[in-house]
Amino acid sequence: MRGFALIVFITIPVFAYLVQAVAGRVVWTIVVAALPLFIVLVGYHRWRNICPLAFFAQIPARLRKPGKKKASNWLEANYYFVVFSIFLCCLWIRLIATNGDGLAISVFFISLSLAALTCGAIYTGKTWCNHFCPVSFVEKIYTEPHGLRRTENSQCEKCSACKQFCPDINQENGYWKEINLRSKSAVYFAFPGLVFGFYFYYYLQAGTWEYYFGGGWTNEPGMIWRAFLPGRDAASAGLFFLPVVPRALAAMLTLALFALLSFVVFSLLERLIGNWLRRRQAEGDAKYVRHVVFSLAAFTAFIIFYSFAGQPSLRKLKFLPAPQLVNLIVVTTATLFLVQRLRQTSTVFAEETLARSIIKHWQWTDIRPPKDLREAFLVHRIKTRESDREAVKALAVYRDAVREVIANGFVAREEVNLLEHLRGRLHIKKSDHEKVMALLAKEERTLLNDAAGQSNVEKRLQLATYARALQNFIERVIAAKGDPDDTFIVRLRSEYAVTKAEHMAVLDELLGGASALTGKLGEELRTIERSALTIKALELNPSVTHDLLVSLLQRRRAEAVESLMRALNFAADENNVEALRDALYSSDEALRQTGVQQLRASLPPAVAERLMSAYGEAVMVEAAPPSLVEVLEARLRSVDPYVRAVALLALSERGAAAGRLLEAMNNDEHELVRDTVGHLLKSINSQSSGDRAGLCTVEKMIALRSVPLFAHLPPEDLLELARASHEAEFQPGADLCVEGESGNEVFILIAGNVEVIATDAEGEKLIATEQAGGFIGELAVLDPAPRSARVRAGKLGTRVLRLDGEAFRHAVAEESSIATNVIRVLARRLRRASKT
């Protein structure tokens, strides 16, 4: 197909020059008229692989003289304006020169080929196809977000990362990432009007549609020499009602005016559709509304185009109903595509992308992964496997899948957080999902501290393909026992547009060098030292909030120590590693410094130097702040969302959380941090009105942790319990629960006390009291029977957390320490009851 398309393209200028009489009819009403329908039917990626202009743009690369320049940031943001302007000029040139002039057609196609060739010699990769080709946005508007059926990608064999959100790698990812681009919306809204304006000008010029549908315009040689002169008659007029206006001016004004009118109409339509969708409580977010309008714009432009394109030739086929048949094919194709397109949303794309990644990591060898990505069979089979081993495996698959789609840039972290429906079908608990996201956030933030580790899908593909080519070269050199050819390396780097630093990173990885580890190791060492110094500062100012923050930092430090130890097993002596582990766990700063200095001698110099630099930086920064407030503010940048949330609460308790700080933290990616910000803002307003704001989720976690029953729970489980509880306050003598009634909640006492009263033949009898830190009501939850006693608030009243029974039963089943403590409390109550 590529060869056939190239032959047709090369033949066009020769044919047009030699056969003037029919050149315009064949080129414009047959070849070009069939192109949009052909692209839609064969698919975006197939067309990108066979496009003749793309072939000319790749000639310099085939000759090993590729361009090296990359599109600027301005061009990346405004390339839709660029290609639209070029396309508009091409339509204008048709109306004033190339429609019916064989020589002009030849010059036009040769000029396009030379432009593509020149761009390929200056710019890297598919810059021509993505940023300059006048057909590029037409290909997109008629096939996005993906074609009638999915096709293989058209990514370059030698990727040079020439474009962000490259459509050749993943067209739909590029579509959703660019959907809010100002230049894209302006062009897509203006395109239907531009198409109509182009054809309507034939009527405006001649005063009759016969001029267009009769095909008289396909054989008008020398039009260019008259286009800029005032009209004298019907043939030379710019407008039939104002012939004196030059054709060039009239044509450009018509194209621009109808494009502008179309932009206004579809901009208003976007508002109307958005309001209508929101009233129906359907998909009403701005991204989906724009997607709907883009779809309608594409459908409109496609129908308008084929209401005119090809008709002058089709109407000459008197013996066949050719126009009606083509119209049927066009309308059917456009309608099918519109229906399919309107069903697609960014959330569906995120789910499908994650589902593909899950299938890619499928580990259940006894069951085939399903072909239908959204079929419930996939998740049903996972849900029905109840063993711990299979649950762990399912979570691992989910973690790896999420890591992959986020790393590739196809799905944003915020979008993964919104996929509650998919997680529900996979039986992934919210707490497990948050553990996965916290782990990935840690990995992501570590990369941000190492410039070599930052990448998107285009950069990853570029370096992966370069690594394969470099590996093949190295293997050939080793097999031949020869010396590396530096000129080949230089040429290879040029072809892939790889920098020297990127080349060294790839080479280190291929040869097993240790430098690839240093970014991560340095960050882990900084984390250890930051945590140790912060813990020391917090322990000097004890409080229940600081206690939780210390626990979180100790956990974070332990994770960093173990991560560092695993990595250093590849680069350091085993005895030194164990000694360093003991030193890093120490709260003694001098002992930590000694351990790190001992490590220096056992590591490669480059790695050791970077580690020492990271360690020294952490010591200097953390030792500098003169106040606890600054220490806490530094923890707001932690990769652990629980640390960020508790540090923010601790700052508020010291009166240091307000204004810009809260505004900045309100954009945090984790719900717990945003909930804390919302509570603090509400507390500020409550103080002015005299109302009490109540407990936020973090404060509930602290309250639950202060109860011995939950003291050893990890923060993820505390968060789950906190979400399943709500605060309640009881006045002195008020009943919390009544003997004989059923109940499905446990009361966690956080202030005051309660009296437990039983009723017998002699009346009410006080059998026990519970103070803050205790819990009551667990029997009715664990054993579905009526309450065994009445519980009322003591003389000072009480404040409790009412914990949902299902959440409590789950916690008892999952955490052995809770079950043990419940048994101990029940045994203590039993002994106390037997004495009375």
User: Model confidence over 474-499: pLDDT tens digits?
Assistant: 656 555 544 445 577 777 777 777 77
pLDDT of residue 284: 59
From 624, 654, 673, give the residue that closes a domain: 624
Residue 485 lies in a domain: no
- Least confidently predicted of 255-259, 306-310, 502-506: 502-506
**Higher per-residue pLDDT: 510 or 816:** 816
Q: What is the DSSP letter of 640?
A: -
Residue 684 lies in a domain: no
Residue 56 lies in a domain: yes
Q: Is the pLDDT of residue 273 over 60?
A: yes
Q: What is the DSSP letter of 248?
A: H
Domains held by the chain: number: 4
Confidence band of 448 (pLDDT split at 50, 70, 90)? very low
Task: Report the pLDDT averaged over residues 175-185.
Answer: 91
Q: Considering the chain, what percentage of its residues have pLDDT values greater than 90?
A: 29
For 328, half-sphere exposure in the C-beta direction (CA atoms, 13 angstrom radius) is 5
Based on the fold, state whether residues 263 and 185 are members of the same structural domain.
yes
Confidence band of 454 (pLDDT split at 50, 70, 90)? very low
Instruction: Indicate the pTM of the whole model.
Output: 0.64
Could you write out the three-class secondary structure of 546-561?
HHHHHHHHHHHHHHHH
- Least confidently predicted of 248-257, 593-602, 804-813: 593-602
Q: Is the pLDDT of residue 364 over 60?
A: no
Based on the fold, state whether residues 260 and 375 are members of the same structural domain.
no
Task: Report the pLDDT averaged over residues 670-676.
Answer: 88
Residue 447 lies in a domain: no
Q: Average per-residue pLDDT in the chain?
A: 80
| Distance, CA of 295 to CA of 309 (rounded, Å) | 21
From 624, 652, 673, give the residue that closes a domain: 624
Residue pair 81/188 in contact (Cβ under 8 Å)? The answer is no
Based on the fold, state whether residues 257 and 381 are members of the same structural domain.
no
Task: Report the pLDDT averaged over residues 777-793.
Answer: 76
Q: Is the pLDDT of residue 670 over 70?
A: yes
- Indicate the SS3 state at residue 469: helix
- Indicate the SS3 state at residue 370: coil
Residue 164 lies in a domain: no
Could you write out the three-class secondary structure of 522-544?
HHHHHHHHHHHHHHHHHHCCCCH
| Distance, CA of 467 to CA of 505 (rounded, Å) | 10
Based on the fold, state whether residues 107 and 182 are members of the same structural domain.
yes
How does DSSP assign 207-228, residue by residue? SSTHHHHTTGGGS-TTGGGTTT
Closest CA to 159 of 489, 465, 409, 452: 465
Continuous H helices in 624-670: 628-635, 641-653, 660-665
pLDDT of residue 85: 96
Based on the fold, state whether residues 227 and 274 are members of the same structural domain.
yes
What CATH number is given to the structural domain containing 823? 2.60.120.10
Based on the fold, state whether residues 310 and 355 are members of the same structural domain.
no
From 312, 339, 366, give the residue that closes a domain: 339
| Distance, CA of 149 to CA of 667 (rounded, Å) | 38
**Higher per-residue pLDDT: 666 or 566:** 666
Task: With both helix axes pointing from N to C terminus, report the angle between 322-343 and 32-42 in degrees, rounded to the nearest 10.
Answer: 40
pLDDT of residue 420: 62
| Distance, CA of 33 to CA of 40 (rounded, Å) | 13
Element holding 147 (H helix, E strand) = none
Q: Is the pLDDT of residue 415 over 80?
A: no
Residue 10 lies in a domain: yes
Whether the bond between 145 and the residue before it is cis, its omega within 30 degrees of 0, is: yes
What angle is formed at CA 569 by the lines to CA 641 and CA 434, rounded to 5 degrees? 20
Neighbours of 538 (CB within 10 A): 23
Based on the fold, state whether residues 135 and 21 are members of the same structural domain.
yes
Based on the fold, state whether residues 389 and 321 are members of the same structural domain.
no
| Distance, CA of 631 to CA of 11 (rounded, Å) | 73
Based on the fold, state whether residues 299 and 274 are members of the same structural domain.
yes
Residue 509 lies in a domain: no
Q: How many residues does the chain have?
A: 836
- Indicate the SS3 state at residue 768: strand
Closest CA to 569 of 558, 580, 559: 580
Q: Which two tokens stand for residue 810?
A: 């789950």
| Distance, CA of 348 to CA of 446 (rounded, Å) | 30
Task: Report the pLDDT averaged over residues 447-466.
Answer: 59
Handedness of CA 695, 696, 701, 702 (dihedral sign): negative
Residue pair 741/785 in contact (Cβ under 8 Å)? The answer is no
How does DSSP assign 65-101, residue by residue? ----B---HHHHHHHHHHHHHHHHHHHHHIIIIISS-
Q: Is the pLDDT of residue 830 over 90?
A: no
Task: Report the pLDDT averaged over residues 81-94.
Answer: 96
pLDDT of residue 369: 61
Q: Which of 55-69, 495-509, 708-722 is predicted most confidently?
A: 55-69
Handedness of CA 721, 725, 727, 730 (dihedral sign): negative
Based on the fold, state whether residues 819 and 802 are members of the same structural domain.
yes
Task: Report the pLDDT averaged over residues 181-194.
Answer: 95
Q: Token match 């580790």: residue?
A: 453
Based on the fold, state whether residues 380 and 357 are members of the same structural domain.
yes
Closest CA to 696 of 718, 722, 716, 714: 722
Cβ contacts of 384 within 8 Å, gap of 6 or more: none
Residue 226 lies in a domain: yes
Closest CA to 518 of 510, 528, 508: 508
Beta bridge partners of 765: 758
Q: Which of 41-55, 85-99, 431-445, 472-486 is predicted most confidently?
A: 85-99
| Distance, CA of 713 to CA of 696 (rounded, Å) | 19
Based on the fold, state whether residues 239 and 98 are members of the same structural domain.
yes
Which residue range is the domain that position 415 belongs to?
346-428
Confidence band of 405 (pLDDT split at 50, 70, 90)? low
Element holding 133 (H helix, E strand) = none
